[in-house]
Amino acid sequence: MLTDPLAKTLLDSDVAKPPGVHNVRLNTLARSVVIEYDAERIPPAMLDQLMAVESDEEAAGLVEELDGLLRIDA
């Protein structure tokens, strides 16, 4: 069950998706997320890296890089 109030609020809201992201689904029972995206705009290897990082700093750097890619292509 989802118990974090902030996470519940985010799930229930209509959050704007970044360019290149088509759909996001969260399965709370399986504790998984499915992200449907345009692999031409968002490099799959970059998402793999983002899921495997071990530090917040490394994650922040990848998110910044990804944001830059999406802004250039927007």
Confidence band for 2, pLDDT divided at 50, 70 and 90? low
Question: Would you give the end-to-end CA distance of the chain in angstroms?
Answer: 37
Q: What is the spatial distance between Cα 28 and Cα 47, in angstroms, rounded to a whole number?
A: 21
Place of tokens 């996470």: 7
Q: What is the spatial distance between Cα 46 and Cα 27, in angstroms, rounded to a whole number?
A: 23
* pLDDT tens-digit map of 30-66: 888 888 999 999 999 998 998 899 999 999 999 999 8
Determine phi and psi for 56, rounding to 5 degrees: -65, -35
* Reported pTM: 0.65
